[in-house]
């Protein structure tokens, strides 16, 4: 009797283990879901104008206005830096400095080659450009106004961040 119960249970287990096996044919084709899972790449590159490795402002005097950085030429449409979206999604860029500017300088940035004093660059991170398509570029121009500037070299670090649009 024990052997009969064991044989019946074994038979049932084998029967249920093959329940998922099914023969497909011309009238009943096999189908399965295919997923394409592509991660977001928010990488970008930055090229400075000319052979520059830093953004240098050299005012003619301590009270110079609308000073462009070395190698930028807004009249000739040469931006100080060009960002290229190297990722696979549209990107939004933010920009800011690692510390506030000295009181004697105001720094402006624009994506067009015209001065825009509403786009001040300081230690607050704000939009630099939005919805830059994959493989697209964003051009950034800068200007500085100096008022009774201190002589010497004052250093700030510009940081550019990217996020998917």
**Residue 127: band (very low, low, confident or very high) from pLDDT cuts 50, 70, 90:** very high
pLDDT of residue 19: 53
- pTM, two decimals, is 0.80
pLDDT at position 6 is 64
Structure tokens at 63: 């009270």
> Residue 14: pLDDT above 90?
no
Which residues lie below 8 Å from residue 85, measured CB to CB, with a gap of 6+?
44, 91, 132, 133, 134, 135, 136, 137, 138, 162
Structural domain boundaries in the chain: 44-164
For 28-66, letters b (16+ CB in 10 Å) and e give: eeeeeeeeeeeeeebebeeebbeeeeebebeeeeeebee
For the structural domain made of 44-164, what CATH number should be given?
Answer: 2.60.40
When the pLDDT of each residue in the chain is averaged and rounded to a whole number, the result is 92
Over residues 43-84, the pLDDT tens digits come to: 999 999 999 999 999 999 999 999 999 999 988 899 999 999
């Amino acid at each position: 009797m024990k052997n009969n119960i064991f044989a019946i249970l074994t038979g049932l287990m084998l029967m249920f283990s093959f329940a998922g096996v099914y023969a497909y044919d011309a009238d009943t084709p096999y189908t399965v879901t295919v997923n394409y899972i592509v991660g977001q790449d928010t990488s970008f590159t930055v090229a400075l104008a000319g052979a520059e490795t830093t953004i240098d402002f050299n005012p003619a005097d301590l009270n110079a206005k609308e000073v462009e950085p070395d190698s930028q030429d807004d009249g000739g449409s040469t931006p100080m830096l060009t960002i290229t979206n190297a990722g696979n999604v549209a990107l939004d860029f933010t920009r800011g400095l690692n510390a506030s500017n000295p009181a004697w300088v105001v720094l402006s940035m624009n994506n067009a080659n015209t001065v825009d004093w509403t786009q001040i660059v300081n230690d607050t991170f704000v939009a630099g450009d939005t919805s830059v398509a994959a493989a697209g570029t964003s051009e950034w121009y800068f200007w500085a106004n100096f008022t009774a500037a201190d002589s010497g070299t004052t250093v700030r670090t510009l940081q550019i961040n990217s996020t998917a649009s």
